[in-house]
Chains A and B, each alone.
Chain A
Amino acid sequence: MNNLFIFLTVKQNVFSKLSEYFSFSFVRYAFIVAILISLCSALLGVSLVLKRYSMIGDGLSHVAFGAGAVSAVVGVAGMTLTLPVTVVTAIFLLKSGGRKKIMGDAAIAMLSAGALAMGYLLLNITNTSSSNLSGDVCTSLFGSTSILTLSRSDVNLCFVLCAAVILFFVLCYNRMFSLTFDERFAGATGINVGLYNLLTAIITATVIVVGMKLAGALLISALIIFPPMAAMRICKSYRSVILTSALISVFCAFTGLILAVLYETPVGASIVCVNLCALIFFSLLGFLKKKIRNTEI
């Protein structure tokens, strides 16, 4: 009885704390952006994971960090430099993705490490004011608090980009399925493969650059890869993989953000950890499902 009472007060505390937080506009912005980004990353992730392009997503986020460092040094605000550089790299990587000889995983690893090193070096060299450099780098790598410092215009930009990405995936659902399953066949049925690959590259870059605000350069690829992987543990059809992955992603982003706000943990890391838990949970579920079906047969 005593325990229950304590539990209830804690729960009440949590709720009052949450409602207090939600009265701040920046917290509401953070939640809206987190949900939008996680939805986009899940939709995109299904295609990337199935096409074996996960590493390209990871490599791109490092490039985005490098570009971000350059734009900080040059003094260009926000995404004006980061987004175009990442888009160009994405087009280059996805175009040559088919030809494994030229752009293998070694090349992507080199690109990642190179961009990361260059970015950090640049920041260090040009750091004249004795401001908190390691804090800045940590923020862009792990996205610790940047999601809670969004301005109204940041939110608007995120909203527009995410809405465009979601609209693309809804309208091109059938074509994306055909392309992901069998590019050659899709081309033979008259789908413009080059155009859709280009759009996928642009969307990948956009989601990564926007998502870096939420989870940081090192962790954003987790948001792309974990939800589809978790969904694929239990789902049989493409449609259910897409829907489940979107649900998992939004749920994990929401839960992770709440935990981060309540316990003052880093946002990106919290969301990724919740994602990890979801993956483990769905793996177990998939394992049990298989067991049950085997015993039925």
Chain B
Amino acid sequence: MPFVFKSKKISADTEKETKIHPAGAWKNYSKVRRINAEQCRNQIGNKIIDVENISLSYENKAVVNNLSFQVYQGDYFCIVGENGSGKTTLLDALLGLKKPDCGKIDLLDSLKRNDIGFLPQHTEVQRDFPATVFEIVMSGCIGRHSKGPFLSKNDRQTAFTNMEKLGITSLSSRSYRELSGGQQQRVLLARALCSATRVLMLDEPVTGLDPKAASDMYSLVHDINKKEGITIIMISHDISSVLKYASHVLCLDRSKYFFGPVENFIKYRDKACEKQYGDDALYGNSDAYKFGGTDIN
């Protein structure tokens, strides 16, 4: 199992690791962490993304420092944190849109960039964009295997399959700007699925949706994760749904990070709330690693 392998390596090489990590992240890797991580991962897949000591900056301002975490095939991985804590920058780095200042991001187990689907946030341009649903879903096939200028029959088939999966086949020739927010988000999800064979990354997928559409969206993503085994990496502000669906949580804050299975995140959060005053205080200064999370800095 890759997980145990990693742990062995740590014990053998603690000195070296600690040098790279001044805060000694791996040293704090307790037994609890390992047991919990294995318990909650119902089907243990291979490690597919390994992020090691990366630092990122946004417009010359450092937002993420010395962060490490791993993603396994089949995970439902949520990234939470305050505005400006570098969630979107981190996602850009994972997508290969941005180079980390230092550290490295490894795609393992023959995962390729082409296997990763992406659902970005809405942009202002899209609100009144004259394009049919089919055209938009098709655009997900560009760049995947089509090096040529035109799309093939195969791509059309992929687009149709994904539209069917999300129940938007009947909207296929409708204009995107006429659709409701929930339908638009389904279209963008279908487009993302055209390029997602193994991993799907979502950037705040329920922003601006009404509660019904939001819960529909969550259950769709949950189905994709469970039925198709596609790994989900999602940025979210909605803590209640993170707790409901996620298998792993990465919590970014300006000063400290939490990474671990969702059970541990609940404890981490409770502790944080105790220290702070009220339910809104999610990100306090607690000793995260005591609960099995990797607490860096």
Residues of A within 8 A of B (CB): 50-52, 170-175, 177-178, 180-191, 232, 235-239, 241
A171 CA to B149 CA, complexed, in Å: 5
- Assess whether A241 is in contact with B143, with CB atoms less than 8 Å apart: no
A282 CA to B53 CA, complexed, in Å: 57
The total of interchain contacts (Cβ-Cβ below 8 angstroms) comes to 94
Q: How far is the CB of B125 from chain A (nearest CB, A)?
A: 6
- Assess whether A187 is in contact with B114, with CB atoms less than 8 Å apart: no
A238 CA to B132 CA, complexed, in Å: 7
Q: How far is the CB of A109 from chain B (nearest CB, A)?
A: 21
- Assess whether B125 is in contact with A237, with CB atoms less than 8 Å apart: no
* Residues of chain A contacted by B144 (CB below 8 angstroms): 189-190
Task: Write the chain A residue with the least CB distance to B94.
Answer: A188
Interface residues of B in 148-162 (CB under 8 A from A): 149-151
- Assess whether B125 is in contact with A181, with CB atoms less than 8 Å apart: yes
* Residues of chain A contacted by B113 (CB below 8 angstroms): 190
- Assess whether A174 is in contact with B139, with CB atoms less than 8 Å apart: yes
Interface residues of B in 112-147 (CB under 8 A from A): 113-114, 116, 118, 120, 123-126, 129-132, 135-136, 138-140, 142-144, 146
Q: Tell me if B185 counts as interface (CB < 8 A to partner A).
A: no
Q: How far is the CB of B237 from chain A (nearest CB, A)?
A: 19
Q: How far is the CB of B105 from chain A (nearest CB, A)?
A: 14
* Residues of chain B contacted by A177 (CB below 8 angstroms): 131, 135, 139
- Assess whether A178 is in contact with B142, with CB atoms less than 8 Å apart: yes
Task: Write the chain A residue with the least CB distance to B116.
Answer: A188
- Assess whether A174 is in contact with B130, with CB atoms less than 8 Å apart: no
Q: Tell me if B85 counts as interface (CB < 8 A to partner A).
A: no
Task: Write the chain B residue with the least CB distance to A233.
Answer: B130
* Residue in B95, B144, B146 whose Cβ sees the most chain A Cβ within 10 Å: B95
| Contact residues on B (Cβ < 8 Å of other chain), bracket | 35 or more
CB-contact partner of B135 in A50, A184, A186, A238, under 8 A: A238
For this complex, 19 residue pairs linking A to B, each with C-beta atoms less than 8 Å apart, are: A50-B125, A50-B130, A173-B149, A174-B146, A174-B149, A175-B143, A177-B135, A178-B139, A181-B129, A182-B120, A184-B118, A185-B191, A188-B96, A188-B120, A189-B118, A189-B140, A191-B142, A236-B130, A238-B135
Q: Assuming A174-B151, A184-B120, A189-B118, is B125 touching A52 (CB within 8 A)?
A: yes
A117 CA to B274 CA, complexed, in Å: 65
B interface: dominant SS: mixed
Q: Tell me if B195 counts as interface (CB < 8 A to partner A).
A: yes
- Assess whether A188 is in contact with B118, with CB atoms less than 8 Å apart: yes
Q: Tell me if B175 counts as interface (CB < 8 A to partner A).
A: yes
Query: Scoring B residues 160 to 204 as 1 if CB is less than 8 Å from chain A, else 0, what string do you get?
Result: 000000000000011100000000000000011001000001000
Q: How far is the CB of A297 from chain B (nearest CB, A)?
A: 12
A261 CA to B99 CA, complexed, in Å: 57
A40 CA to B253 CA, complexed, in Å: 49
- Assess whether B142 is in contact with A174, with CB atoms less than 8 Å apart: yes
Q: Tell me if B97 counts as interface (CB < 8 A to partner A).
A: yes
Q: How far is the CB of B178 from chain A (nearest CB, A)?
A: 8
* Residues of chain B contacted by A232 (CB below 8 angstroms): 130
Query: Scoring B residues 66 to 85 as 1 if CB is less than 8 Å from chain A, else 0, what string do you get?
Result: 00000000000000000000
Q: How far is the CB of B276 from chain A (nearest CB, A)?
A: 34
Q: Assuming A52-B125, A174-B151, A178-B142, is B130 touching A190 (CB within 8 A)?
A: no
Q: Assuming A181-B125, A185-B118, A189-B142, is B97 touching A237 (CB within 8 A)?
A: no
* Residues of chain A contacted by B140 (CB below 8 angstroms): 185, 189
- Assess whether B132 is in contact with A236, with CB atoms less than 8 Å apart: yes
Q: How far is the CB of B233 from chain A (nearest CB, A)?
A: 12
* Residues of chain B contacted by A170 (CB below 8 angstroms): 149
Q: How far is the CB of A192 from chain B (nearest CB, A)?
A: 9
A66 CA to B132 CA, complexed, in Å: 41
A221 CA to B272 CA, complexed, in Å: 57
Q: Assuming A171-B149, A174-B151, is B126 touching A181 (CB within 8 A)?
A: yes
Q: Assuming A173-B149, A177-B139, A188-B97, is B126 touching A237 (CB within 8 A)?
A: no
* Residues of chain A contacted by B143 (CB below 8 angstroms): 175, 178, 186, 189-191
Interface residues of B in 8-44 (CB under 8 A from A): none
